[in-house]
Amino acid sequence: MGRLGALLLSAGLAAAATAAEPPRGRHDGRFCVTVAEAAPDCGPVQVDVLRQSRLRVRVADIVYHLELHSSQLDVVLMHGAMQIDGFVAPYEWVDQALRFDDLEKRTRYELTLTR
């Protein structure tokens, strides 16, 4: 299991959550977005662990607010103070990557902490 999987699983962010708070603070990450059948578009991101089950993923001036529950993930996409999207999706862990889909937009997301 990779660092992200170990960090979040042990911190209570996956389906088998524990009571421990995740280590708060900023982490480097890699975020991939795949639309329909296109190749993934991946790049570096800043990941802030805010508290148990809550992450903030910053891609330039776009911020994804992620809140993990036992079987689903709430996603709110912000540009500054303006909400530009939001959806609820099931999520899964594949190795050290958190994966979730916006089925309506045929978009797959994958987040991995890199250090």
Phi and psi torsions of 4, nearest 5°: -60, -45
**What SS3 state is found at 90?**
strand
101: containing domain: 3-113
How far apart are the C-alpha atoms of 62 and 41, rounded to whole Å? 15
Q: Which residue is it, tokens 């776009």?
A: 62
Residue 44 sits in a domain whose CATH number is 2.40.128
Phi and psi torsions of 85, nearest 5°: -170, 165
Partners of 67 in the beta sheet?
A: 54, 74
| pLDDT score of 66 | 95
Average of pLDDT values for 3-21?
A: 39
The 10s digit of each residue's pLDDT in 77-93 is 999 999 999 999 999 97
- Cβ atoms of 35 and 107 within 8 Å: the answer is yes
What is the tally of structural domains in the chain?
Answer: 1
The 10s digit of each residue's pLDDT in 104-114 is 999 999 999 88
How far apart are the C-alpha atoms of 95 and 75, rounded to whole Å? 21
| Residue 17: band (very low, low, confident or very high) from pLDDT cuts 50, 70, 90 | very low
Six token digits for residue 89: 């999706």
Residue type, 78: M
pTM (2 decimals)? 0.77
The 10s digit of each residue's pLDDT in 20-76 is 334 678 989 999 999 999 999 999 999 998 877 899 999 999 999 999 999 899 999
Dihedral of the alpha carbons of 59, 62, 88, 67, in degrees to the nearest 10 = 70
